[in-house]
């Protein structure tokens, strides 16, 4: 595997981090536009790390099965936990 | 019983790699629980950062985020080196990754001491408790990663990790990139939002 994609991914991650740091001052901290932009940037960065550095892009079904099962379990179990936390500790 | 009855079925992946992915899946659930607790509690408050308490420092932590991304790059370069049989490259890039993780921890320790001296402790309400829980839980993962890298680095220095053992470095890399990935999300949720 060539080193080039890794450096390109690294460059993209560095640029996205710089953009992230600029977002609150450009779009204003706490606004809906800022929230949407920051979440999209974080998701893009996480996806780049998973796909290229963790090689998910070239993995087969077995690894994807583990990842998908994890996401499904999190999706099913976290809402009740979130409700419970809000009920007990939220004000 | 034939001798082949006990032999493992041919596998596309090293067992350790699948094991690491399963571990990362369970670990992701732990992180997700912390993040959900943080988000739910934050949304339930009208004023999240208590009176007189400092907000989390964005500039210094932004640099730390960049540092962790750099260490992810050096980790994939270490993998590439071992796959090519470049022993010196493996040692160099693993060393650089370990250094990156160590500096990350030192900066986080400095940040924590700065916040604590400014009056923000784990007992400073839900803001303090969730901040230290999330960043501390992640910090422990970085510490574990630095120790894990150190163990593989010692093996590499002794010449025990060659092309045939490249999967060891790949599995280590999976853990390290996961720690980086989680920090990318934590940095956005805790520091920037």
Closest CA to B18 of A38, A28, A61: A61
Chain B residues with CB under 8 Å of A55 CB are 170
What's the rounded Cα separation, in Å, for the pair A13 and B69?
7
pLDDT above 80 for A91: no
Per-residue b or e along A20-48, where b marks 16 or more CB atoms closer than 10 Å to that residue's CB: bbebbeebeeeeeebbebbeebbeebbeb
Residues of B in contact with A63 (CB under 8 A): 13, 17-18, 21
With 80 as the cut, is the pLDDT of residue A90 above it?
no
pLDDT value at B4 more than 60: no
CA separation for the pair B186, B193 (Å, rounded): 10
Q: What is the pLDDT of residue B51?
A: 82
Q: What is the signed CA dihedral for B88, B93, B96, B97, rounded to 10 degrees?
A: -140
Q: For residue B50, what are the contacts with CB-CB under 8 A and spacing of at least 6?
A: B124, B125, B127, B128
Q: Which of B188, B142, B141, B179 is nearest to B35 (CA)?
A: B188
Between the two ends of chain B, the Cα-to-Cα distance in Å is 63
Residue listed under structure tokens 């419970």: A84
ipTM of this complex: 0.90
End-to-end CA distance of chain A: 53
Q: Quote the pLDDT of residue A86.
A: 82
Alpha-carbon gap, residue B26 to B54, rounded angstroms: 33
Contacts of B36 in chain A (CB under 8 A): 78, 81-82, 85
Tokens standing for residue A4:
């080039």
User: Are B36 and A85 a contacting pair at CB < 8 A?
Assistant: yes
Among the ranges given (B47-56, B60-69, B92-101), the one the predictor scored with the smallest mean pLDDT: B47-56
More confident residue, A30 or B174: B174
Mean pLDDT value across residues A8-31: 92
> How many whole angstroms separate alpha carbon B120 and alpha carbon B112?
9
- Find the range with the poorest average confidence among A5-9, A11-15, A31-35, A82-86: A82-86
pLDDT in tens, A30-53: 788 999 999 999 999 999 999 999
Those of residues 2-61 in A touching chain B at CB distance below 8 A are: 3, 6-7, 10, 13-14, 17, 20-21, 23-24, 30, 34-35, 38-39, 41-42, 45-46, 49-50, 53-55, 60
Tell me what pLDDT residue B3 has.
Answer: 45
> Testing the interface with A: which of B17, B25, B57, B171 to mutate, by most A Cβ within 10 A?
B25
CB pair distance less than 8 Å for A35 and B193: yes
The backbone torsions φ and ψ at residue B181, rounded to the nearest 5 degrees and listed phi first, read -60, -45
What chain A residue is nearest to B173 in terms of C-alpha separation?
Answer: A54
What pLDDT shows up at residue A30? 78
Chain B residues lying within 8 Å of A50, measured CB to CB = 177, 181
Within A1-91, strands assigned E span none
**CB-CB contact of B104 with B64 (8 Å):** yes
Lowest mean pLDDT among A34-38, A60-64, B7-11, B82-86: B7-11
Whether residue A84 is predicted with pLDDT greater than 80 in this model: the reply is: yes
Chain B residues whose beta carbon lies within 8 Å of the beta carbon of residue A66? 18, 21-22, 25
What's the CA gap between B102 and B68, in Å, rounded?
A: 10
Nearest to B42 by CA among A27, A32, A85, A34: A85
Backbone angles phi, psi at B118, to 5 degrees: -85, 5
Q: Does A72 touch chain B (CB under 8 A)?
A: no
Cβ atoms < 10 Å from Cβ of B163:
11
How close does chain A come to B174, measured CA to CA in Å?
Answer: 6
What pLDDT, in 10s, does the model give residues A63-72?
899 889 988 9
Please report the pLDDT score of residue B50 as a whole number: 82
Q: Provide CB contacts within 8 A for A28, sequence distance 6+.
A: A34
Cβ separation B69–A13 shorter than 8 A: yes
What is the per-residue pLDDT across B96-111, written as a single tens digit (0 to 9) for each? 999 999 999 999 999 9
């Amino acid at each position: 595997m060539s080193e080039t994609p890794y450096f390109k991914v690294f460059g993209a991650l560095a640029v996205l981090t710089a953009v992230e740091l600029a977002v609150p001052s450009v779009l204003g901290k706490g606004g809906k536009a800022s929230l949407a932009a920051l979440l999209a940037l974080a998701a893009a960065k996480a996806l780049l790390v998973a796909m290229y550095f963790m090689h998910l892009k070239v993995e087969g079904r077995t690894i994807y099965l583990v990842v998908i099962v994890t996401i499904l379990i999190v999706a099913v179990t976290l809402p009740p936990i979130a409700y419970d936390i809000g009920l007990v500790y939220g004000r | 019983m034939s001798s082949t009855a006990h032999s493992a079925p041919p596998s596309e992946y090293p067992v350790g790699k699948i094991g690491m992915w399963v571990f990362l899946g369970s670990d992701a659930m732990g992180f997700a629980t912390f993040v959900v607790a943080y988000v739910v509690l934050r949304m339930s408050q009208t004023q999240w950062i208590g009176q007189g308490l400092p907000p989390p420092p964005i500039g210094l932590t932004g640099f730390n985020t960049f540092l962790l991304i750099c260490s992810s790059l050096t980790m994939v370069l270490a993998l590439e080196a071992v796959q090519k049989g470049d022993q010196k490259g493996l040692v160099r890039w693993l060393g650089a990754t370990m250094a990156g993780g160590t500096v990350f921890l030192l900066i986080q320790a400095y940040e924590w001491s700065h916040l604590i001296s400014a009056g923000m402790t784990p007992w400073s309400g839900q803001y303090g408790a969730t901040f230290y829980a999330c960043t501390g839980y992640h910090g422990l993962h970085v510490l574990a990663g630095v120790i894990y890298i150190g163990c593989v680095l010692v093996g590499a220095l002794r010449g025990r990790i060659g092309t045939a053992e490249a999967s060891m470095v790949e599995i280590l890399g999976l853990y390290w990139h996961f720690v980086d990935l989680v920090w990318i999300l934590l940095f956005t949720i805790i520091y920037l939002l």
